[in-house]
Chain A
Amino acid sequence: MRASTTWFVNPVNPLFFAAWPGEDAVVAYQSTSGDTHLISAMGAAVLELLQAAPLSAEAVFKDLFPDEEPVAEALATLRNNFLIHFEQLGLIEKSLS
C-alpha cells in the first residue's frame, strides 16, 4: 500500500495572518520563531487550511478548487511552489501515513 503524505501547521508553532482587502499579499507571522513572511494570498489560503487540519495535497487542492480535477501537473505545482517551500521555511510539517 502506498503511503500518503499529509501536511500540517504544527500547533506548537501557530501562524498569525494579516491581510487587507484588495491586496494580493499577506503577512504570515510565526510567533515561536519570530519569522515574518510576505506571501501570496494563495499561499495564505493553503496555510490557513493546514492550520485548521492536516491535509494531503489532494485535499488542499480540492478545498481551494472544488470544481477542478486534481491532475498531476496541478498537484506538482501545489507541492513544489507551496508545500515544499513552506516546509523549507519551517511553516509547515509533513507526516506519512
Chain B
Amino acid sequence: MNDISQGLLAALRLIVTFDAELWEISLRSLQVSLTAVIIASAVAMPFGAFLAVQRFKYRRLIISIMNALMGLPPVVVGLIFYILLSRSGPFGVFGLLFTPWAMIIVQIVIITPIIASISHQAMRELWAEYHDLLISLNTSKWQRIKTLIWDGRRNLLTAGLAGFGRAIGEVGAIMIVGGNIEHATRVLTTAIALETGKGDFALALGLGFVLIGLALFVNISIHWLSRTERERRW
C-alpha cells in the first residue's frame, strides 16, 4: 500500500511540476504508438473488410494465420527486427536500429494482426447484414469495402483503440530495437522497466499511473471527438 501511495504521490509531483523528462517520454510514447496505430490501421482495416467481402481459395487459411498472429510474442518480434535492422542485417543500411522508427516498425508488426482481426470480425457481421442489399444494388467490390468501412467506423474505432492499447503498453520489443536511450528512444514502458530495475518503485509506479492516464485520455478523447457517445445518429 505504501508503494502505491508513494507512486501516486510521485505521479502527482511529476505532473504538477511539469517534469520535462516526463513530458518528453510521454510525448515520445504517444508519437510512437499513434504513428504505429495510424499506419497499421490504414493497412489492417481495409484488409479486414476485404477478407469479409471477398471469397478466394486460401481465405480461411489467411484468417487463421491472422488470428494466430494476434498472439505474436513481442520479444521475439523485437529480436527478429533487431537482427534485420542491425548493421550486419539486410536492412542495416537504413540505420534504423535504436531510433523511434524501429520502435514504430515493431509496433506495427505486433498490432496489425490485432486490428485486422477485430476489423474483420466487425466487417464480417456488417457484411452479413448488408450482403443482399449491396449485391442487389450491383455494387463493385471497392464500393462494398468503402461502405462497410464507413458504416462500421464505430467498430473499427474499437479495433484501432485495441491496437493502441497494445502498442502503448508494449515494452519487450521496443526495448530491444529502441534500446531505451535517454532523450532518444526512452518511452514510458521502458522507463518503468528501468526504474523497476533500479529499485525505484515509487517512480516506476508514478510513471505507470501516467501511462494509464495517458491511455485513458486517448481513448476518451477519440470517443469524444468521434461523437460515438454524444450523438445517436448512428
Q: Do A and B bind each other?
A: no
Interface residues of B (CB under 8 A from A): none
Interface residues of A (CB under 8 A from B): none
